[in-house]
Amino acid sequence: MAKDMTLLWGSGSPPCWRVMIALEEKGLQGYDHKLLSFEKMEHKSQEVLDMNPRGQLPSFKHGSFVLNESYGACMYLESQFKSQGNELIPRCAAEQAMMYQRMFEGLTLTQKMADVIYYNWKVPEGERHDSAVKRNKETLCAELKLWEGYLQKASGSYLAGKSFTLADVTAFPGIAYLFRFGLNEERYPKLTEYYNLLKDRPSIKTSWPPTWLDDPQAKDLLKDI
């Protein structure tokens, strides 16, 4: 039980989902939590700003310690609850190296995905260019081919090898996002296999974004990637 933890979160946000998966994996259920709406701008509410001056979700606290950065929260939870629940950092040096490498490459994947999906949201109307949209799509496509190759050559079903690690905790929410936005399953068979394997893992199934359950596919924005 984790009564001394508080999570303010938004449905579908990869950073929020990472923290929720880590909490499940570490057996830290029962934390206080509150689902907020990005659409209603609740991430800019005073309640969030009091915990997180950036006005972003997740906002997460363990007692009085604030860990709003999702990667930071995941690392901290694994470190502080090492012997509880599932161990998320492999002891084997080779798998550990691979885990750290993929974990931080995951930030690049998420960024390149966001550059495509949120282009109109992030770039004011007068500054938009078809050439930038095209380039962002090509960049994401090249990135996805890298990951498809990683999974082809992997020594196990997970990103760092035979066990589920922090690399999967942090990368999976972004990969789920890709499929929600219509990624072509035939073009990326290994990513599809990985997605299908992980989506039924208990920590992931339990924390699946509630708004996605009613509306499994958002748009076919990525169908040509």
123 CB-near residues (< 8 Å, 6+ apart): 132
Q: Omega into 58 within 30° of 0, i.e. cis?
A: yes
SS3 62: strand
List 89, 140, 178, 198, residue binding a second copy (CB under 8 A):
89
- The secondary structure of residue 91, as a DSSP letter, is S
Q: Does 98 bind a second copy (CB under 8 A)?
A: yes
Region near a second copy per CB under 8 A, out of 30-38, 43-51, 96-104, 204-212: 96-104
Q: By C-beta, is 73 or 204 nearer to a second copy?
A: 73
Q: Does 87 bind a second copy (CB under 8 A)?
A: no
Q: Does 202 bind a second copy (CB under 8 A)?
A: no
Q: Does 79 bind a second copy (CB under 8 A)?
A: yes
Q: Does 73 bind a second copy (CB under 8 A)?
A: yes
Distance CA 49, CA 161 (A): 39
Residue 12's alpha-carbon distances to 18, 90, 125, 131, 165, in angstroms, are 10, 28, 25, 29, 21
Residue 26, both tokens: 């570490």
List 29, 37, 80, 206, residue binding a second copy (CB under 8 A):
80
Q: Does 118 bind a second copy (CB under 8 A)?
A: no
Q: Does 96 bind a second copy (CB under 8 A)?
A: yes
Residue 225, both tokens: 């990637």
Residue 101's alpha-carbon distances to 43, 78, 119, in angstroms, are 31, 17, 27
Q: By C-beta, is 104 or 220 nearer to a second copy?
A: 104
Q: Does 125 bind a second copy (CB under 8 A)?
A: no
List 33, 42, 49, 76, residue binding a second copy (CB under 8 A):
76
Residue 11, both tokens: 């449905």
Name the residues that contact a second copy, by CB under 8 A.
53-54, 62, 64-73, 75-76, 79-80, 89, 93-94, 96-98, 100-101, 103-105, 107, 124, 126-127, 129, 131-132, 146
